């Protein structure tokens, strides 16, 4: 697994600009864009108000999320789901990716020690993006690949490979300043 960074106060300001709202419960910067801005963060599995938040790896860069949305509307999710319906090896790999997602999030919950195991039952076996049975969000699987590295989620890796160079026109940190 990659080394995640603690967010600086400047990182949190950039994330706020990216999201268009104050970020909630940011734990770490999991991946930086080519321009140096945060692109994927880890988020506490339970928000400060107690709401469960299963999206542990969270893409924040608006240029990245826009490019991912374009891939979704172009049918990449549908293609992946068709492949999953016929390829048992790919289904098994996605189950393993789901398990790796859960392991990382469960470790964060344990380290935070904010809630008991009983209180976290609503998050049990729920990762993100439709895993392990299907793909319903390219943002989630790409964020996992950015955060956990190549080979953890093959479909996330393929999603990243299909992305354009979203950071080239202007730094991602300035995307919502325009």
The model's pLDDT over 128-161, given as tens digits with 9 standing for 90+, comes to: 778 889 999 999 999 999 999 999 999 999 999 9
The model's pLDDT over 73-113, given as tens digits with 9 standing for 90+, comes to: 999 999 999 999 999 999 999 999 999 998 998 888 877 76
Q: So where are the chain's domains?
A: 9-174
CA torsion 46-49-50-54 (nearest 10°) is -30
Tokens representing residue 117 in the block:
């195991």
The model's pLDDT over 118-128, given as tens digits with 9 standing for 90+, comes to: 555 556 666 67
Q: What is the pTM of this model?
A: 0.88
Strands, sheet with 26-32, edge to edge from the N-terminal-most edge strand: 26-32, 38-43, 57-59
């Amino acid at each position: 697994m990659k080394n995640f960074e603690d967010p600086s106060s400047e990182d949190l300001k950039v994330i706020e600009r990216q999201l268009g709202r104050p970020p909630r419960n940011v734990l770490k910067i999991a991946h930086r864009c080519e321009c140096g801005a945060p692109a994927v963060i880890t988020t506490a599995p339970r928000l400060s108000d107690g709401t469960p938040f299963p999206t542990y790896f969270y893409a924040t860069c608006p240029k990245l999320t826009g490019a991912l949305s374009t891939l979704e509307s172009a049918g990449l999710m549908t293609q992946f789901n068709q492949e999953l319906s016929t390829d048992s090896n790919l289904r098994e790999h996605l189950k393993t990716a789901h398990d790796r997602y859960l392991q990382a999030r469960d470790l964060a919950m344990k380290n935070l020690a904010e809630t008991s195991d009983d209180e976290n039952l609503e998050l049990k076996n729920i990762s993100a993006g439709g895993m392990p049975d299907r793909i319903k969000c390219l943002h989630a699987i790409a964020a996992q690949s950015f955060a956990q590295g190549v080979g953890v989620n093959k479909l996330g890796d393929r999603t990243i490979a299909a992305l354009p160079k979203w950071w080239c026109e202007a730094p991602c940190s300035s995307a919502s300043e325009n």
